[in-house]
Amino acid sequence: MSRITKLLYKFLLIDLIKGLSVTQRYFFAKRFTSQYPKERLEVKSRVDDKNRWNEEGRYRGFIMLRLDPDSGEELCTGCGLCMRACPDDCITVENEKRPEGKKRRHKTFVLDFQRCMFCDLCVEACPTQALYTSDIYEMAVYDRKDLVHDLDTLYKGPEVKRYKK
């Protein structure tokens, strides 16, 4: 840019007008806000409860246990690999013999979400793909005790309270 052009830019306040036009453009742009309790944005996890792979999904939400999509029986064998993989030591598994078949199954499965950091290591460690990270993100509770989830909620997902305001 020559010196004259620079001077003209300064005298005609071109740079300021450029800035003003940018803000004016954003003035008419679509608003970015989502009104959370009213409109809930969709998040996608990598696999769903039927173990279908989702290419775009990257979200790691509430960790859940999965039933076998074909036979409908429990996949978890209670081997405790997730318990050992967990860096925060928040999973407790005990196993027992199944009534029929050779396999064993979980007797207790307690996941303490107070300490969980959703690192996904337990899911990767699971040999039967019984664990998966779901797309549930509304896990806030009023009592810390409610963050310790056991078999009941790990299959169903947490109870989401819908507050009016």
Partner 1 sequence: MSLLEFCIFYIVVPLVKVVVVLTAVSLWIAMLILAERKVIGWIQVRMGPIRVGFRGLLQPFADLFKLLAKEDLNPTQVNKFIFFIAPILCFVPAFTAFAVIPWGPESKFWGTVWNWIFGVLGLDIEIGPVPYYISDVNIGILFILAISSLGIFGILLGGWASNSKYPLLGGLRSAAQMISYEVPLGFAVVGALMMAGSLSMVKIIESQQAFGWSFLWIQPLGFFLYYVAMVAETNRLPFDLPEAENELVAGFHTEYSGLKFMFFFFAEYANIVLVSAVATTLFLGGWLPPFHGFISEDSFLYMIPAPLWFVGKICFLLYSFLWVRGTFPRYRYDQLMRLGWKWFIPLAIVNVLCIGLNIIIRKQAGWPEIAMIPLGIAEIVIIAVFVYAWWVIRGKKDESYYKAII
Q: Which residues bind partner 1 (CB under 8 A)?
A: 7, 10-11, 16, 19-20, 22-24, 26-33
Contact assessment for residue 123 and residue 59, using Cβ atoms and an 8 Å cutoff: no
Q: How far is the CB of 99 from partner 1 (least distance, A)?
A: 57
Cβ closest to partner 1, residue 7 vs residue 140: 7
Residue for token pair 């071109």: 14
Cβ closest to partner 1, residue 7 vs residue 141: 7
Q: How far is the CB of 164 from partner 1 (least distance, A)?
A: 14
Residue for token pair 């800035």: 19
Q: What is the DSSP string of 59-84?
A: B--SEEE-B-TTT-SB------HHHH
Q: How far is the CB of 2 from partner 1 (least distance, A)?
A: 13
Q: How far is the CB of 4 from partner 1 (least distance, A)?
A: 8
Contact assessment for residue 24 and residue 16, using Cβ atoms and an 8 Å cutoff: no
Torsion of CA 21, 25, 26, 29, to 10 degrees: 180
Cβ closest to partner 1, residue 25 vs residue 145: 25
Cβ closest to partner 1, residue 22 vs residue 117: 22
